[in-house]
Amino acid sequence: MMKRREFLAAGSSLIATAGLAPTSLVAAPANQLDIREIEFGTGLRKAKFAALLQQTFYVHEETGGTVTVRLVKVAGTEQLTNPEQFSLFFRGPSLPSLRAGTYTVEHYLAGRTPLYLEPVPTTTHDLLYRADFCLLH
């Protein structure tokens, strides 16, 4: 049976060793999303969408249908400008295709927001949709 003194000595060694561990082992993985930083309810910004790159979004049509798309590119200047100008590119299936128009776009963590999407001509079977932004902050 372990005595109290041995238990305290072993526990303090473990705590001291954990304190020396590299922060990369202790910190949260870089690919984890923080909902406080990406939720659409606090406004739209290029940085929010950049954090959602390669994520799945759901485009809700007025007819009740839903098209699944993936955010494949966030384009714009790297400098902070006012107004903030950038474009989003979503890749989706060839069918059903979406016409240019305003849709409710949903991400499972960020929430819902209306976006004007327009088809972009491509050489692949998948369809590409673009949303352009010019936001005053």
pLDDT digits (tens, 9 = 90+) for 39-94: 898 899 999 999 999 999 999 998 889 999 999 999 987 777 788 999 999 999 98
Give the separation between CA 47 and CA 12, rounded to whole angstroms.
42
Instruction: Determine the structural domain holding residue 112 and report its residue range.
Output: 31-135
pTM over 0.85: no
Flag whether 18 is in a domain.
no
Q: What are phi and psi of 6, to 5 degrees?
A: -65, -40
Q: What is the Cα–Cα distance from 37 to 14, expressed in whole angstroms?
A: 34
Q: Is the pLDDT of residue 14 over 50?
A: no
Residue 27 neighbours by CB distance under 10 Å: 9
CA distance 33 to 24: 17
In a domain, 24, yes or no: no
Residue 85 lies in a domain: yes
| 65 is a domain residue | yes
Strand partners, 92: 127
pLDDT computed for residue 108 by the predictor: 94
> How many structural domains does the chain have?
1
Flag whether 95 is in a domain. Answer: yes
